[in-house]
Structure 1
Amino acid sequence: METEEKKGYKAPPLGGGGGIKAGIVGGAGYTGGEMLRILINHPEVNLAFVHSTSSAGKYVYEVHTDLFGDTDLKFAAELAYNIDVLFLCVGHGDAKKFLDANPIPDHIRIIDLSQDFRLSQNAKHKTKSFVYGLPELNRDAIKEANNIANPGCFATCLQLGLLPLASQNLLNSETHITATTGSTGAGQSLSPTTHFSWRNDNLSVYKAFEHQHLNEIVQSLHQLQPNFNPPAEGRGVNFIPYRGDFTRGIIASIYTECSLTEAEALKLYQHYYEAHPFTHVTRHDIDLKQVVNTNKCFIQVKKHGNKIFIVSIIDNLLKGASGQAVQNMNLMFGLDEKAGLRLKAIAF
């Protein structure tokens, strides 16, 4: 493996001036752009390089035009290894290919935003093991981890709506979920269902009952409630995803039978998340603009007859992707969990 000296690499003095050197692979897409926006303002990070095969040699602000005036960093065609952490902002299936083609030294911690290493049966790549990076579930393991599999956006939103129930073995009947995501959830590559003329003033169901994030969700619920046995005994998760005609955010409505009163359920959720700085519980109505452009999750808890009704909302690109990845980095390096993530909601 060539060293950065042999390649003539010199890390530019960017970022917040802190001691952690970070690199990004796949910086031209939506999650890569959000990672850039966070890290160049992070007080403890120096952004050493942003790798992109499609945009190599271009200034970052030529692709992410809102960053004009914030950085003079250029996209790099080569990797550098004088870093502490590497973020893989690549497509599903591409992280494994990247690591096959580019062996990363063990001293570099990896945070992968694809789905390649999220499931326990896929959580190892050669000598590297990946911890599932949902802080509200695995915070202690994340603190000790060398490599993180960052959760999916739908998976994050839905798990945060269900984990407190699973923690008390209360998922004992079918759970029904309807959730709508913005167009950025589909990535930056154009397709018929992401084109403006199709998506605008439109709404559609996709991958009903079969969304790939269900596997992550079931895995995490089983971690907290070992007797959770999805389809066999009528305790499955019925998930209907929608494509929304907005750009970012996820709103999920969830209901299942539950013996708790509304006051007991609210207390359970508040207690479960009291030590987690980004997840907040309320009995009041919530809406997406409260969390878009933040790393927060808001959860509303209500009771209707014998059913508990949960609304969970996140920004799919932040708490559902890049923001959560930085939250994981903060935990891994012993930083304030909220460092670089005190972001303002759009509000209106």
Structure 2
Amino acid sequence: MKKIEVGIIGGAGYTAGELIRLLMFHREAEINFVYSTSNAGNKICKVHQDLEGSLDLKFTDTINPNVDVLFLCLGHGNSVKFLKANSFSDKTKIIDLGNDFRLEKDKFFDNKTFVYGLPELQKEAIKKADYIANPGCFATAIQLALLPLAENNLINSDVHVNAVTGSTGAGTSLSETTHFTWRDNNFSYYKPFTHQHLGEINQSVKQLQESFSSEIVFMPNRGNFSRGIFATVYTNFEGTLEEAKNLYKTFYQDSRFTFVSDEDLHLKQVVNTNKCLIHLHKHNNKLLITSIIDNLLKGASGQAIQNMNLMFGFEETEGLQLKANYF
């Protein structure tokens, strides 16, 4: 059977690099072009050096408007600009890894309607969609920590979130806080209480629990490691720990990538995988939910491939059978 043809826009960044790596071993898809105006004509392995000897493809500054699926790996706010300037065929499905279309108020563009692409929340809608807004990395980890409670109308007090992300979450462009000498042996918070992912988190919680009116208090942090997100989330919960575990395990019983663990978690369990692992702990009337993901895979490119698989009717795990770098 003929493979689907894939185009990637914004090919020099971390998320594009991970998409290329995953697609190289996907049995149902093949890369048609990787678009990068700043690298046109250069071999892709010159930028994504982990692909040396594995891929001979070059970046291009021209597009094929007839590809089956297009991944947009552009800076936030640039996907709308790109789609206004470039046209694709009616058969081309689009998966945007930026934040341009994630919120309900932004999901309509031209004659397109973007579906929010968190499979654990709305798998059936994704299967029918032609256009997907891939969730943010922090948003993915935090939503997966909260959705089982929201499904059961159990978030009735403020939610407190402390989450740490690796340096790859800041992208490839250098800034004061991404230089090795600043990040190494260092730790800091940023965008306290105001992170842009709060919009989509609140939106999804309210989708399941319409009565939700409390505040999600989010403190994002920069860690001195390369990849991964470690999120701790706590809120009031009157039930027992066993009741909470049953609730979470029931909610995720059909999930292919989200699992509830009885053991304490650490990042090496998920780095280089498309998994989200969740652990629950009860203290007095507080339920602590730990949620961990790889920010570049389940938080970006891996989830984008998962969405592509659902959209085209492929096995959901195709191309995503990845082992963690445990040691």
* Pair 1:334 & 2:310 matched: no
Partner of 1:92: 76
Is the CA contact (8 Å cut-off) linking 1:18 and 1:46 kept in structure 2? no
1:108 aligns with 92
- Which of the residues 256, 261, 275 maps onto 1:277? 256
Q: SS at the partner of 1:238?
A: strand
1:221 to 187, 195, 205: 205
**Cα separation, 2, equivalents of 1:54 and 1:184:** 20
The two structures have a TM-score, normalised by structure 2, of 0.99
| Equivalent runs, 1:48-127 vs 2, <5 Å | 48-127=32-111
Task: State how far apart, in whole Å, the 2-side matches of 1:262 and 1:239 are.
Answer: 24
Q: Residue 66 of structure 1 aligns to a residue in which SS?
A: helix
Give the 5 Å matches for 1:308-323: 308-323=287-302
| SS of match in other structure, 2:290 | strand
Q: Distance in 2 between matches of 1:290 and 1:55?
A: 34
Q: Which residue of 1 aligns with 2:232?
A: 253
Corresponding letter in the other structure for 1:292: V
1:171 aligns with 2:150: no
Map of 1:232 onto structure 2: none
User: Which amino acid counterpart does residue 304 of structure 2 have in structure 1?
Assistant: A
Distance 2:282 2:183 in 1: 34
The question of 1:236 aligning with 2:215 is answered yes
**Match for residue 27 of structure 2 among 43, 65, 76:** 43
CA distance in 2, matches of 1:177, 1:225: 19
Partner SS for 1:202: coil
Aligned to 1:131: 115
| Partner secondary structure for residue 210 of structure 2 | coil
> Counterparts of 1:6-25 in structure 2 under 5 Å?
19-25=3-9
Question: Per-residue deviation at 1:346?
Answer: 0.4
Q: Secondary structure at the match of 2:305?
A: helix
Q: 1:101-148 CA distances to partner (integer Å, 9 max, x unpaired)?
A: 002222100000000000000001110110000000010000000000
Q: Taking every aligned residue pair, what percent have the same amino acid on both sides?
A: 58
Q: Is 1:188–2:172 an aligned residue pair?
A: yes
The count of aligned residue pairs is: 327
Give yes or no for the alignment of 1:306 onto 2:252: no
C-alpha separation in 1, matches of 2:276 and 2:171: 21
Where does structure 2 lack aligned partners over 5 or more consecutive residues?
Answer: none
Residue matched to 2:15 = 31
Q: Are the aligned partners of 1:283 and 1:302 in contact in 2 as well (CA < 8 Å)?
A: no
Measured in 1, the distance between the counterparts of 2:239 and 2:26 equals 42
Q: What secondary structure, in the 3-state scheme, does the structure 2 residue paired with 1:347 have?
A: coil
CA-CA distance at 1:18 after TM superposition: 5.4
For 2:12 and 2:62, locate their aligned partners in 1 and report how far apart those are by CA, in whole Å. 15
AA aligned to 1:251 is: F
2:263 and 2:70 map into 1 onto residues whose CA distance is 39
Check conservation: 1:289, 1:345, Cα contact below 8 A: yes
Query: Tell me, which stretches of 5 or more residues in structure 1 are unaligned?
Result: 1-16, 230-234
Structure 1 position 198 matched with structure 2 position 182: yes
Instruction: Indicate if the aligned counterparts of 1:18 and 1:43 stay in contact, CA closer than 8 A.
Output: no
- The one-letter code matched in structure 1 to 2:181 is S
- Structure 1 distance, partners of 2:212, 2:46, is 49
Separation in 2, partners of 1:221, 1:335? 28
Aligned 8 A contact 2:309 2:318 in 1: yes
Cα shift at 1:180: 0.2
Give the drift of 1:295. 0.2
> Are 1:266 and 1:282, in contact at CA under 8 Å, matched by a contact in 2?
no
Q: CA RMSD in A?
A: 0.8
Distance in structure 1 (CA, Å) of the matches to 2:162 and 2:149: 18
8 A Cα contact 1:60 1:72, kept in partner: yes
Deviations 1:133-175 (A, max 9, x none): 0000010000000000000000000000000000000000011
Per-residue deviation, 1:83: 1.2
Query: Does the 8 Å CA contact 1:327/1:337 hold for their aligned counterparts?
Result: yes
Q: Supply the AA of the counterpart residue of 1:146.
A: D
How far apart are the structure 2 equivalents of 1:177 and 1:114?
A: 22
Verify the 8 A CA contact 1:112 1:148 in the aligned structure 2: yes
Query: TM (normalized to structure 1)?
Result: 0.93
Task: For 2:296, give the aligned amino acid.
Answer: L
